[in-house]
Structure 1
Amino acid sequence: MSYTPKWVSIGPIHHNRESLWLTKEKKRQFREPFPFLDERDEELRRKMGNWEARVRRCYSEAFQGISSGEFVDMLLTDGCFIVALFCRNYKWSKEGVDATDNPIFSTRWMLPEIGRDLLMIENQLPLFVLKEIFNATKLKPEGTSFEEVALEFFKSFHIGKGAMVIKKHHTEGHHKHLLDLFHSLYLPPKSSDSGAAQKRRKNKKPLMGRTSVRGKNWVPNATVLKSSGVRFYAKEGNSLGIQFRRGTLSIPGISIIESSIIILKNLLAYEQSSRGIEPLFTSLVLFFSSMASVPDDIKLLREASIILHEPGDDQMAIEVLKLLSKQLECDVTDFSMKQQVEDIRAFCGSKKAKFWKPIGRICPARFILLCLSIVLAVTVGRYD
């Protein structure tokens, strides 16, 4: 169910599913009250007809049950709906234009539900189709690109704490579809990429012949890390911006709630579908599943505001991480947190960590009492 839309189908995989609320007619009605396409409407339809074979090749199925005319109509209906939704949202959020004449905007829960549907891996249209429609619409906000209005819509779907900040490099480059564009929100600027990542993105070739690692044990769990002298700090920003320096592990908060889990599952499925895609969230989930293996680990990370979920459900969070990390594979020489993992492991093997480890197993109050007892014994011994 995490990969099946609940409200609106986009593209051919779930085309014309009767159980969805946003039917073909409702999608068309969404753009009726305002001018949308100019005199290039027929020109756009002809272009979509010429692109039909190209678009069909973007999917693994042939969809022989969808005729040529129906396929082109689907591209226009679904594409126009998405563009209208993003443009109206942009004008509403940036320019204060009232959009509450439509139930999608006037109903508080509906926009998030539809947004999650648009980020499902089985619910995508090629981005070049959406950009062509965007360039033909009268509703297009002046001086904006399709990527800008799309990311403005999706920035509140950030899986971490708070909304994502959109920067210039997020709107640049080639993107396959909306899920790929959303995934790019978490990529670092190209100037800070590793050499291997830059080369892969430039050549668009899969990584072959690399050793793969599955599952866990990248780093010790959180309770062991704490007993080794590691301090935990919840930082702001990108969920993937994990840092380790001088014994302090800084991790942005991550939400373990149903809505963010659905988005995370689709991002993981997308990364696992090709070796040419940066395994950002694969690394994140494998890192957390290594660090949080028992409820006490979750409790420690929750109290540090790193894992955000309801108290009392620590075992549930463990089960979620187990489910997410199941059968995930990642190239051990190229995962995005390689340096942090190496630094943490080196710290835990240091003399400092070995000194703190037995001390960390004693609760702070008992440790203080033990120190006071030693001081008292030494003091009394002097007077004796």
Structure 2
Amino acid sequence: MENFGTSRHGTTSRNGDASIDVEVVVKSIREKLAKLSCPTPDCCIYKVPNKFRNINEEAYTPFRVSIGPLHHGKGGLEDMEDHKWRYFNYFMQRSQKRLEELVKFLEENEERIRGYYAETISLNSNKFLEIILVDAAFISEVLLRYWVDDLITPNDRIFRKPWMINDISQDLLLLENQLPFFVLQDLFEMTNINLVFNENETLSYPFICLTLHWFLNSNKIQERPVLPDINPLEIKHFLDLLRSCLVPRKSLRHTKRKFEFIPSATELHEAGVKFKVSSSKSLFDIKFSGNVLEIPQKRIYDSTERLLRNIIAYEQCHCEVKFVTDYTVVLVYLINTSKDVELLVKAKVIENWLSDNNDVSNLFNRLGKEVILDTNAYYFTKLHKELNDYYKIRSHKWKATLRHNYCNTPWKVLSIIVAAILLGLTFIQSLCSLLSCNK
């Protein structure tokens, strides 16, 4: 039997031994709703979903330095904190602004900065703004030293240790290790640090020029994008800018074609497809014509998986069109085994800087896991159809088998010709003998 009554704490509902205070529950719910905040349009810095992190946690975790609030104070990163303060001191010495002015700028933008993070940042304002300022100055100082070697001091613990600057360069492009780009750009421009650019460089956005120089020097991009193509107001953070440098400039045409898987490089090769390295430096200029598949060269380093994983995680969390994910999927389909890698390396499509071809195939086998494709906006749908249409024609497979198995050396070709001649002569001789017998 259910009893209802009123206690001195308010209305209660009783069911056996369980009871609640309705007014307390209602008050608690209303307090939580009052504190609830909606994601802002600026939200673009995410914690990596566990489904990706569980595959390769190291790919999303800083090696040397935390940037921003998400990894601040994590174990193993403490050694770099003192050095960040040293860089901050150098940065302020170059600056023509008082520290109070920089802090005031951050204070005025605190709410906007917090809105860039998908996670609620529980740090108080003093600690939060201190982290943002010191880390932003640290990044600026790193980029300045990339730009001007003379700024590197003899006792620099970062640039005097090649393995250290390599790790930090990777850490600056982790999704969870980002600062809002407007903070980096505005703070840098407030300091009035003078930089010498080429005549054809724009002076309007010196921090972007610094960043692109870093991308080039650290082999993140193969060619510098045209600056007018980059809208500084649309850049979210470093990882977003790097993605903008990589993706194709032409707009994506949405198609209603059915999404198709594509055969591996070995299967395509056996069907007669030839692989050729493209002269284009854009990763997305993959073209199939006749029986030739042209692919821009891709260098595979130890850091390749880390970088691709973080861009893919960013696209999966934030981007409507997932260009880099789509590009990676093409390689995932082409590369199943070390034999596939061997074919692409021989064609110079892949430049392998890992220990062996198995490492490359394992890398791409891992990259394809848990990735969600938007097949309605997939960039390479046309390419998939062209490859499948060719592969399905059996005559191509038959011709390729003959060519690979019997005509791949001059001696084999010669032996086939000789065999054909002997067969013809034997037939003529048999025919002549038959005619003689009939006479």
**TM-score (structure 2 length as normaliser):** 0.74
Structure-2 residue corresponding to 1:207? none
Structure-2 residue corresponding to 1:201? none
Shift in alpha-carbon separation, 1:257–1:229, aligned structure 2, 3 A: same
Q: 1:295 pairs with 338, 343, 368, which one?
A: 338
Q: 2:161 pairs with 107, 119, 122, which one?
A: 107
The CA deviation string for residues 167-196 of structure 1, in whole angstroms up to 9 with x for no partner, is 32553351111100011111222xx22255
Shift in alpha-carbon separation, 1:76–1:54, aligned structure 2, 3 A: same
The CA deviation string for residues 86-106 of structure 1, in whole angstroms up to 9 with x for no partner, is 1232233xxxx4525323222
Instruction: Report the CA distance between 1:221 and its aligned residue.
Output: 1.2
1:178-257 alignment, distance < 5 Å: 178-189=238-249, 192-195=250-253, 218-236=261-279, 237-257=281-301
Between the two proteins, the alignment pairs up a number of residues equal to 359
Structure-2 residue corresponding to 1:29? 86
* Contact kept in structure 2, 1:228 and 1:360, CA below 8 Å: no
Shift in alpha-carbon separation, 1:165–1:47, aligned structure 2, 3 A: closer
User: Aligned partners of 2:348, 2:356: CA distance in 1, in Å?
Assistant: 15
* Contact kept in structure 1, 2:344 and 2:350, CA below 8 Å: yes
Partner SS for 1:182? helix
Correspondence 1:116 to 2:155: no
Instruction: Report the CA distance between 1:125 and its aligned residue.
Output: 0.6
Shift in alpha-carbon separation, 1:98–1:52, aligned structure 2, 3 A: closer
Structure-2 residue corresponding to 1:264? 308
Structure-2 residue corresponding to 1:282? 325
Kindly provide the amino acid, as one letter, of the partner of residue 70 in structure 1.
K
User: Aligned partners of 1:302, 1:122: CA distance in 2, in Å?
Assistant: 33
* Contact kept in structure 1, 2:88 and 2:138, CA below 8 Å: yes
Partner SS for 1:376? helix
User: Aligned partners of 2:312, 2:182: CA distance in 1, in Å?
Assistant: 23
User: Aligned partners of 1:165, 1:54: CA distance in 2, in Å?
Assistant: 30
Structure-2 residue corresponding to 1:164? 223
Instruction: Report the CA distance between 1:238 and its aligned residue.
Output: 2.5
Kindly provide the amino acid, as one letter, of the partner of residue 239 in structure 1.
L
Structure-2 residue corresponding to 1:330? 373
User: Aligned partners of 1:268, 1:81: CA distance in 2, in Å?
Assistant: 26
Instruction: Report the CA distance between 1:326 and its aligned residue.
Output: 0.4
* Contact kept in structure 1, 2:71 and 2:177, CA below 8 Å: yes
User: Aligned partners of 1:39, 1:311: CA distance in 2, in Å?
Assistant: 46
Partner SS for 1:30? helix
Instruction: Report the CA distance between 1:48 and its aligned residue.
Output: 0.6
* Contact kept in structure 1, 2:335 and 2:361, CA below 8 Å: yes
Instruction: Report the CA distance between 1:74 and its aligned residue.
Output: 0.9
Q: 1:133 pairs with 174, 187, 204, which one?
A: 187
Correspondence 1:175 to 2:218: no
User: Aligned partners of 1:60, 1:312: CA distance in 2, in Å?
Assistant: 38
Structure-1 residue corresponding to 2:210? 149
Instruction: Report the CA distance between 1:381 and its aligned residue.
Output: 4.7
User: Aligned partners of 2:83, 2:353: CA distance in 1, in Å?
Assistant: 37
Shift in alpha-carbon separation, 1:157–1:244, aligned structure 2, 3 A: farther
Structure-1 residue corresponding to 2:26? none
* Contact kept in structure 2, 1:159 and 1:264, CA below 8 Å: no
User: Aligned partners of 1:232, 1:211: CA distance in 2, in Å?
Assistant: 25
Instruction: Report the CA distance between 1:338 and its aligned residue.
Output: 2.0
Correspondence 1:39 to 2:84: no
Instruction: Report the CA distance between 1:247 and its aligned residue.
Output: 1.6
For structure 1, which runs of at least 5 residues remain unmatched after alignment? 198-209
Structure-1 residue corresponding to 2:25? none
Instruction: Report the CA distance between 1:159 and its aligned residue.
Output: 5.8
Shift in alpha-carbon separation, 1:21–1:375, aligned structure 2, 3 A: farther
Shift in alpha-carbon separation, 1:381–1:168, aligned structure 2, 3 A: farther
The CA deviation string for residues 200-251 of structure 1, in whole angstroms up to 9 with x for no partner, is xxxxxxxxxx9997xxx62111122112221111234133332222221111
User: Aligned partners of 1:248, 1:100: CA distance in 2, in Å?
Assistant: 52
Task: Please say which of residues 372-381 and 78-87 is displaced more in the overlay.
Answer: 372-381
Kindly provide the amino acid, as one letter, of the partner of residue 119 in structure 1.
L
1:291-370 alignment, distance < 5 Å: 291-309=334-352, 313-350=356-393, 353-360=396-403, 362=405, 364-365=408-409, 368=413
User: Aligned partners of 2:86, 2:427: CA distance in 1, in Å?
Assistant: 91
The CA deviation string for residues 326-381 of structure 1, in whole angstroms up to 9 with x for no partner, is 01111112122222222222222347624524325525238625632444335635
Partner SS for 1:71? helix
Shift in alpha-carbon separation, 1:247–1:12, aligned structure 2, 3 A: same
Partner SS for 1:232? strand
Kindly provide the amino acid, as one letter, of the partner of residue 143 in structure 2.
F
Kindly provide the amino acid, as one letter, of the partner of residue 286 in structure 1.
V
The CA deviation string for residues 115-143 of structure 1, in whole angstroms up to 9 with x for no partner, is 10000011001111111111112334252
Partner SS for 1:233? strand
Structure-2 residue corresponding to 1:371? 416
Kindly provide the amino acid, as one letter, of the partner of residue 421 in structure 2.
L
Task: Please say which of residues 311-320 and 243-252 is displaced more in the overlay.
Answer: 311-320
Partner SS for 1:330? coil
For structure 2, which runs of at least 5 residues remain unmatched after alignment? 1-57, 197-202, 430-439
